[in-house]
Copies of this chain bind each other. A is one copy, B any other.
Amino acid sequence: MKNGKKMHIGTLMTWAGTHVGGWRMPDAEHGGEDLDVVVRCAQIAERGKLDFVFFADGLATSLDFHPSSMLHLEPLTLLGALAVSTSHIGLAATVSTTYSEPYNVARMLASIDHMSKGRAGWNVVTGSQPEAAANFSKEKHPPHAERYAVAEEYLSVAKGLWDTWEEGAVVADKATGQYIEPSKMHVLDHTGAYFKVRGPLNITRPPQGYPVILQAGASEAGLNFAARTAEVVFASQQDIDEAIAFAEDLRDRCEKAGRPRDAIKILPGLAVVLGETQEDARNKLNEMSTLVDPVAAMKVLSDRLGEDMSRYSLDEPVAELPESTLMQGHARVLTSMARRKNLTLRELRDLACVATGHRVAFGTPEEIADDMEEWFRRGAADGFMIKTAYLPAPLDEFVDQVIPILQKRGLFREEYEGTTLRDHLGLPRPAHPGARSEAAITTDAPAD
């Protein structure tokens, strides 16, 4: 058992917890703009030997946003700080491919990977809030299909830039004065539908080759993009059978894309509410529900569904949504759960408030561990993206109370065995294309 396959566990640190009312709990601390709180939380996660901490991001704000996402530090500069404040845990963040330049983002991620000695992860998102367009001199948020086409090209440009320097390019021989081995520098010369990028990047290849690529897209386009490129997928299924079907489907797509079935670590989101008993946990959940502003609550659900839900009646069953909404993001998963459990809109809203639409598990540490073990053993999950209602106390409790049970059962590491995020996740380090195929990268380096 001890040597068997292990779970992978990341935790969402955004930014004051996932429950819309969580920040109001007496012992809650808001990490949005307070580096000390974020550092303490990351160190708690590292004490629990978690694979990574993860920061979601957006490029707009509004008074009706989740109190956790309204105002907060910028994730890439924050990961720079955490590279110093932690020593082992992976450091992952969302960066949108719609409102930035691949040269800028590729070098920032490379920089974080160098500073952290191989611990960076990039959650590639195609969007952000639709409100973002107005902050970036754009008339409107580009349509779904175009965003995915841009993302696909953007990611390939980023990888191409990371490959512009082979290992060993920096000779730095003080005696001879040779600083660079020119044959190991490559020009990218990318010209595509959306980007024209010459390269090389002005930073060498990240220690991990590429930062770990994470994704959460659940639409058809998102799943196919993930099948081709993702190494970690955040899933959002609420039901174990749906989750198994989702995982099998994604593994099939992965295989069709020419990758091994297990190339992607599938981590369903799981909000954990711990108690000394089931009832105690349920009471905590109910206590938090009383702390929620209804407008903010509905905005969370609307964002999750990609549809403004405030115009529907609160106490009737969740309305049928148009197919154009259902094909995007997490709309199908959430509405299918609402159907199955015959939820009113109010009930769905309150549930979405706990964890922005992700699955909620409440109970004793043993019960939570049982739940996680079942999902893991039945192939519904390679691990979990743990969310806590607020920070830092519930994260502390998860690390102190649930992790030891998983470790005792041989389901989770007792110590970090490697040093990079790829090591923790059991992901291979991508070889430089020069080592894979001569033709894989354009180069104007002098011939030998």
Contacts and interface: CB of A to CB of B under 8 A. Distances in A.
A24 interface: yes
Interface in A45-65: 58-61, 63
A438 to B, nearest CB: 21
Contact of A71 (B24, B83, B165): B165
Interface string A237-277: 00000000000000000000000000000000000000000
Interface stretch (A73-81, A306-314, A349-357, A428-436): A73-81
Contacts of A67: 179
A416 interface: no
Given A58-B202, A197-B137, A108 B177 contact: no
A315 to B, nearest CB: 22
A200 B71 CA distance: 10
Contacts of A369: none
B59 A202 contact: yes
Given A83-B35, A185-B63, A115 B78 contact: yes
A94 interface: no
Given A67-B179, A136-B103, A73 B115 contact: yes
Interface string A75-112: 01111110111000000000000011101100110111
Given A81-B83, A200-B61, A73 B134 contact: no
Given A33-B203, A177-B291, A74 B108 contact: yes
Contacts of A99: 101, 103-104
Contact of A23 (B21, B61, B172, B182): B172
A327 interface: no
Given A114-B33, A137-B195, A174 B24 contact: yes
A26 interface: yes
What bracket does the count of chain A residues touching chain B fall in? 35 or more
Contacts of A25: 174
A180 interface: yes
B180 A63 contact: yes
Given A61-B200, A78-B115, A179-B23, A30 B73 contact: no
CB-CB nearest 10 A-B residue pairs = A80-B80, A74-B111, A61-B202, A134-B198, A77-B80, A84-B84, A80-B81, A137-B196, A103-B135, A35-B115
9 contacts: A21-B177, A26-B174, A59-B104, A73-B111, A74-B203, A134-B196, A135-B198, A135-B199, A137-B195
Interface of A: 21, 23-26, 28, 30, 33, 35, 39, 58-61, 63, 67, 69-74, 76-81, 83-85, 99-101, 103-104, 107-108, 110-112, 114-115, 131, 134-138, 165, 170, 172, 174, 177, 179-180, 182, 185, 194-204, 291, 293
Given A61-B202, A80-B80, A135-B197, 17 more contacts: A25-B174, A33-B204, A35-B84, A35-B115, A39-B84, A59-B104, A67-B179, A70-B180, A73-B111, A73-B115, A74-B110, A74-B111, A76-B77, A101-B137, A103-B135, A137-B196, A179-B293
